[in-house]
Amino acid sequence: MAVYQVRLINEADDLDVTLEVDEDEFILDVAEDEEIKLPFSCRAGTCSTCTGRVIEGDLKEQGGNPEMFFNSSQREAGFRLLCIGSPTSDCTVLTHQEPNIAKF
């Protein structure tokens, strides 16, 4: 099983932390285990509360319905759901990004 370095950044919350996340773990769950508070609601990929923006590397979403919330340009900009997102490489993710989705 691969383990990746996932860097979470949110300047507004003074957050810049790097977590080790297994390829089959969800980033939101691992952050919670480390007592990092990220926004969430459904935890099932059926809202956009947990949205992050991947700016380096990538992650895969398992389940849920992310295409309901992101169009193709938003996907290209890196918007992903962290509650169902697992890393596929080392990656850097801007957290708390739901308010920024419409800017792309």
Q: Shortest Cβ distance from residue 62 to ligand FES (Å)?
A: 12
Cα-based distances in Å from 41 to 18, 38, 90: 23, 10, 26
Closer to ligand FES by CB, 19 or 50: give it.
50
Q: How far is CA 84 from the centre of its chain?
A: 8
Q: Shortest Cβ distance from residue 50 to ligand FES (Å)?
A: 3
| Span 9-68, contacts to ligand FES by CB under 6 A | 40-43, 45-47, 49-50, 64
Tell me the two tokens of residue 4: 């990746």
Across-strand partners of 4?
21
Closer to ligand FES by CB, 64 or 87: give it.
64
